[in-house]
A and B are shown apart, each in its own frame.
Chain A
């Protein structure tokens, strides 16, 4: 017989005026290789069909199943119950808009973020569909790919003290995106253009360096290194600008 697990799950349906936020407990017997994805689906099938949560790929690729698991943001589909204690608390991610129970709307947030950082290659070169693709140095391509792996799950945002305090803070996922385009030789944006997007208190200078983001990212993207690089680049750029203003040539 497997362990007897106790789930304490946040319940609230903002659509229902009679609903009040509360925690509800469920008991479930652990089975072999059980993930939270399996557990939640069984709870919904066997105990309460109204339970709301999100899943798509169940393989850590789509980023839709992020939730607070015993206080820590992580992907439910790749979290094995055998690594958790008998009692498991599940809460929706903070910062994002609650849809109901464990389901949040991270899509709107990430769409706004991608629009803000203008998350596409900016180039004036006319596109010729018949031309051969320009080759890219393999090492560089891999470095860019390393940052491309973000699945937009929102764990880094939920784990960020600044994002919890300030709605307008861009968050580590956004810094990672910008760093990705700064590395890309096809993107013709200038330093000043990048500065305009991140060189302020809502951007990199608002980051407190708490590294909640770095420590929870389920894809282990090197967020810390992007934050440090961005602040250094943007900081020095502002100093250079200041000196060029003070000492006109």
Chain B
């Protein structure tokens, strides 16, 4: 046993590196998914026919049936990998909180925002995915019916800013961590990212408005 360990010590262990790299890929995949998701859902603003035909296309090509569960898997994998970074013991949580209050530094606060929104998304995102994927096909009328029921409107009004914040901060942080955002372009890219986030929240709110007031429920 012992000699084996010595013999293997030649190669450094790479698990942390693999996990962090796959965490990056899972983040990128989820961001791309969220953008496509926004295109699909916001298409309802052009009329239920547009949204229905996109949804129909996704189902006829089995993209929804295969993609849906795949996204759910990436979602789960991302949660497991990202949760490694969240302190779950009291001592570390307290250290992080004391530090954030003391330093009062925006990027440090944003990380807490990311950890908290992440946990909310874990719960609310799972509920949302279960509801939609167990009630295929997706149609504008069925979505409108849910939202006009009232409770789902409240649910989505909460989920929308939470997820857009998480995606926005995550996108910025991916750039910082992997060195695509550098000292020279940090300010302008952060600005761009903020505007993107506000833009997506606005589109989301308009879409919820359309579902609630304009689309005929099933």
Contacts and interface: CB of A to CB of B under 8 A. Distances in A.
Interface of A: 68, 71-72, 94, 159, 161, 164-166, 192, 195-196, 199-201, 205-212, 214-215, 222, 224-225, 227-229, 231-232, 234-235, 237-239, 241-242
A161 B92 contact: no
Interface of B: 11-14, 16-21, 24, 85, 87, 92, 95-96, 98-100, 102-105, 107-108, 110-111, 173, 176-183, 186
B107 A228 contact: no
A227 B177 contact: yes
A161 B14 contact: no
Contact of B178 (A68, A71, A200, A231): A231
Contact of B17 (A72, A215, A222, A238): A238
A99 B158 CA distance: 48
Nearest to A214: B183
A165 B20 contact: no
A238 B19 CA distance: 10
B14 A238 contact: yes
B96 A161 contact: yes
25 contacts: A71-B103, A94-B99, A94-B102, A161-B111, A165-B87, A165-B92, A199-B16, A199-B17, A200-B13, A200-B17, A209-B173, A210-B111, A212-B103, A222-B183, A224-B182, A227-B177, A227-B179, A228-B176, A228-B177, A229-B179, A232-B179, A235-B21, A235-B178, A238-B14, A238-B18
Given A225-B182, A231-B177, A72 B103 contact: yes
Given A165-B92, A200-B17, A208-B111, A225 B99 contact: no
